[in-house]
Chains A and B, each alone.
Chain A
Amino acid sequence: MKNMARFYFDHASTTELDPRVKKAMEPYWLEKFGNPSSIYQEGREAKTAIEKARKTIADLISARPEEIIFTAGGTESDNLAIFGMLGHPTSARRSDVQAHIITTKIEHHAVLYPIKKLEKGGLIKATYLSVDKNGLIDLAEFRKSLTENTILVTVGYANNEIGVVQPIAEIAKILRNFRNSKTPFFHTDACQAAGYLDMKVNPPTGGLGVDLMTVNGSKIYGPKGVGFLYARNGVKLEPIVYGGGQERGIRSGTENVPAIVGLAEAFKIAQAEQKKESLRLIKIRDFIIKELQKRIPDVVLNGHPTKRLPNNISISVLNAEGESMVLYLDAKGIAASTGSACTSESLEPSHVIMALGLPYEYSHGSLRFTLGRSNTKKDAEYLIKTLPPIVEKLRQMSPVKFKSQITIRQLADKSQINSKSQ
């Protein structure tokens, strides 16, 4: 059993390090180990390395180097974007008005929890935009939720669970027409998108039009524990970490030089290979979705069928519990994840699947397979062969058969019809 082949289908959770990235990082452990803040040679070497990395990243997203702040990952970047915003002199500091933040019900917890924390402390008011059954926000609802006190809008580029891609550029356009001062600023968590979608921030040559953007290393074949926050010039952020004043005072702490070098290299490779890799993965993705729905009754695709990441397969298997499926899959060499309450630390079912307006049963039976560079058609074939008997066994063991099976079929049919019309 120990030498059994592994099939890794959890690339939205984290990715392996690209060997080219590892190579780029190599000199910065032993040889060029200096502190970038030191003025002697070792320090200058390290400083040069992080400034090169900053330039590489800035070029890739059509930004300026000084707009890139290195952090310890996606969670920190999100927290900095949200908590840091309250230090902005034109917004929340005005004690007479309560600042307002708009986000969505399906954001990552790294976005939702800082907002909830501020809301609980009475520092802000928050609007959580709902999504339709395909996982997309309603732009009209968004437009209506904007107020003159809105300081920040934060909407994830692509969702980590269901892979649905939000219309970021359209949100930015609405905001441009709405604002008469600098605010509200627009932040997007782009961790899941960075390997697959266009990441240029600046219009008019296309571009997302965001003011703040989160990216991390561990989803793009880079190192873990490193990320960056893009913050457009003019966006004033109050630090959440104080100390030696690194990163223009916004993020103190000695820079993680090897990780920053690795992040830039990983991002460069990911963006260069983005189109080709996306096309390859879309084929495998759609093959798996089609085959699983054919081979297993009552399997529903979560999220929009086409407006989704090329690597994301999120399904709900009715009358089979997610954690049990994940454990059986693991025993067969497959790594996957679930939004079932049983696997979360909080024992709460996935807030994302719940936000689609589906009953608990869908959350408990949800499975997420996220493809990556290591996955081939052969892996896909192994997966579609392995899952059906597992589901059959668990369904046989279940005392309940979720009753509205006709409704489920209708739902599934409906989503297919909608996908054709869009």
Chain B
Amino acid sequence: MTKIQKKKSPDLVDDKTSACWYYSDLVKEHFFHPRNFLKKDPKPGEFDAEGQVGNFKCGDIMRMWLKVEPKTEKIQKLKWRTFGCGPAIASISAFTEMVLENHLTIKEALKIKPQDVVKKLGGVPSRKIHCSVMADLAFKKAVENYYKKTKK
């Protein structure tokens, strides 16, 4: 658990200055300049698998597209689309960046936990973590879909 996560306060407050900000600068950076989101609908064969989590009732929906190097299972391409709030968009953007920057394999990427994403974002208001930081779940769905397709 990161320090910020332990805070019960719904919003982030700077201990020294008492300045309130709703989202950290890193959340804002990813939210206003999202990385790896899928602009155009995918061409046939562009990705190996995809997975979606969430629903309109809870308010956040995430979809991830995956392309994998079959031998090493290294993730070559990882794209997303999200309907949701600031941290929903920021967290999936950060998640894909973590995977792609570090050239992770499926196995390695599955180890990324929501708190790792929260840490990368410099904190997310605690009540938002459960509902909006769920990029790992979307990724798992995409991986399940990948194995289903490849290991028939």
Contact = CB atoms under 8 A, between A and B. Distances in A.
Contacts of B86: 323-324, 327, 342
7 contacts: A321-B85, A321-B88, A327-B31, A341-B58, A342-B84, A342-B88, A399-B52
A359 B57 CA distance: 9
Main secondary structure of the interface of B (DSSP, over half): mixed
For chain B, the bracket of interface size reads 20 to 34
A28 B34 CA distance: 52
A241 interface: no
B10 A345 contact: yes
Interface in A320-363: 321, 323-324, 327-328, 331, 340-343, 345, 347, 349, 359-361
B52 A397 contact: no
Contact of B61 (A345, A347, A399): A399
A398 interface: yes
Contact of B83 (A327, A328, A347, A400): A400
A397 B131 contact: no
A396 interface: yes
B113 interface: no
A319 interface: yes
B135 interface: no
Closest A-B pairs by Cβ, 8 of them: A399-B63, A342-B85, A399-B81, A323-B85, A398-B83, A360-B56, A341-B59, A327-B86
Interface of B: 10, 23, 31-32, 34, 37, 39, 52, 56-63, 80-86, 88-89, 127-128, 131-132
Contacts of B57: 360
A100 interface: no
A360 B84 CA distance: 13
A364 interface: yes
A361 B81 contact: no
Contacts of B83: 319, 321, 364, 397-400
Interface string A396-412: 11111010000000000
A399 B82 contact: yes
Contacts of A321: 59-60, 83-85, 88
A143 B5 CA distance: 51
A359 B81 CA distance: 22
Contacts of A328: 32
Contacts of A341: 58-59
A349 B34 contact: no
A303 to B, nearest CB: 21
In this complex, the member of A340, A345, A364, A397 whose beta carbon has the largest number of chain B beta carbons within 10 angstroms is A397
A359 B55 CA distance: 12
B79 to A, nearest CB: 11
A404 B132 CA distance: 25
A361 B55 CA distance: 10
Nearest to B63: A399
A361 B56 contact: yes
A319 B80 CA distance: 16
Given A321-B60, A328-B32, 10 more contacts: A323-B86, A342-B59, A342-B60, A359-B56, A364-B56, A397-B34, A397-B37, A399-B61, A399-B63, A400-B83
